[in-house]
Amino acid sequence: MSTVTVVSYGAGNVASVQFALERLGATVRLTADPVEIADAERLILPGVGAAGYAMARLSELELIEPIRTYGRPLLGVCLGQQLLFETSEEGGGAPLLGLIPGTVRKMDPGADRPVPHMGWSALTVTRTDPLLEGVKDGDWAYFVHSYACPDGDATLACADYGGSVPAVVRNGNRWGCQFHPERSAATGARILRNFLDLSA
């Protein structure tokens, strides 16, 4: 049975992530302890709200360095994906974890695409990856976000929302999902199962 540690730092809905993982048979540990995070078999960094607040909380809890140097599978969820990048336009240029190159930018609203992007969007897989095993073009995922990560070498899958929105990213052992896999029905469950199956 897989064991997964979820970073519980006051900037993410950890309960829904925990329940989704437990439904898949995982043993889940919620923690903000730097030692437990450094020793985790695999790690999930959730997040909702503002990037600056999330980074401030990680700093207060002395979690930035353990996450930056973490060497096993790590999955950032929603804001957690954005935190993997270098900076965010939010709050005048918030510094992030710097694990993936690029700046997270505010999404442009349109007549048929209000911001935040909230609801179901279809995925387009742009690169094969173990995290996306069994996920097909057109599979649906549930998004809630106002900022989008840059499209680049790290992008594994996109959604269309007035332009290409990176929905899944990877750099080495660090993955991110812009959407909420814990709220994305069969697609999200498959991705979480794939994450649990990654070699630690």
Give CA–CA dist 140/13, Å, rounded: 21
pLDDT score at 24 = 97
Q: What is the per-residue pLDDT for 2?
A: 86
Q: What average pLDDT score do residues 81-94 get?
A: 92
**Could you tell me the domains of the chain?**
3-197 (3.40.50.880)
| Residue-level pLDDT at 1 | 64
Residue 20: the pLDDT is 96
pLDDT above 90: residue 200? no
> Model's pTM, two decimal places?
0.96
pLDDT tens-digit series, residues 1-58: 689 999 999 887 799 999 999 999 999 999 999 999 999 999 999 998 899 999 999 9
Over residues 48-72, the mean pLDDT reads 95
Q: Give the active site residues.
A: 78, 180, 182
Q: Are strands 164-171 and 140-145 parallel, antiparallel or unpaired?
A: unpaired
DSSP state of 181: G
pLDDT at 11: 83
How many Cβ atoms are within 10 Å of 110's Cβ, its own excluded?
11
